[in-house]
């Protein structure tokens, strides 16, 4: 899923744009979701996490992969 946080289960909301003349058109509010590598039960896993969960420390980010050359 694209705009869905797998930690706090925050998803998209829908509503209306309301103009000054009170005409309404549909719109969507989507959370700021990033695809990051996080530690889950001691293993690194790629998950969709909102930036609020990242900022508040609800997830622990995994260390980046290091490519070693032989």
- Whole-number pLDDT of residue 16: 98
Report the distance separating Cα 35 and Cα 43, nearest Å.
16
| Dihedral sign for Cα atoms in the order 9, 6, 2, 29 | positive
pTM listed for this prediction: 0.74
Closest C-alpha to 37, from 14, 56, 63: 63
Report the distance separating Cα 21 and Cα 38, nearest Å.
47
Residue 4 CA, chain-centre distance (Å), reads 6
- For residue range 36-46, list pLDDT tens digits in order: 999 999 899 99
- For residue range 9-52, list pLDDT tens digits in order: 999 999 999 999 999 999 999 999 999 999 999 899 999 999 99
User: What is the DSSP secondary structure assignment for residue 61, as one 8-state letter?
Assistant: B
The CATH number of the domain covering residues in 13-56 = 2.30.170
């Amino acid at each position: 899923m694209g705009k869905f946080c797998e930690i706090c289960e925050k998803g998209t909301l829908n509503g209306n744009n309301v103009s000054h003349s009170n005409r309404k058109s549909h719109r969507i509010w989507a959370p700021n979701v990033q695809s990051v590598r996080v530690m889950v039960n001691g293993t690194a896993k790629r998950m969709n996490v909102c930036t609020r969960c990242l900022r508040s420390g609800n997830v622990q980010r995994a260390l980046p992969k290091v490519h070693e050359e032989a």
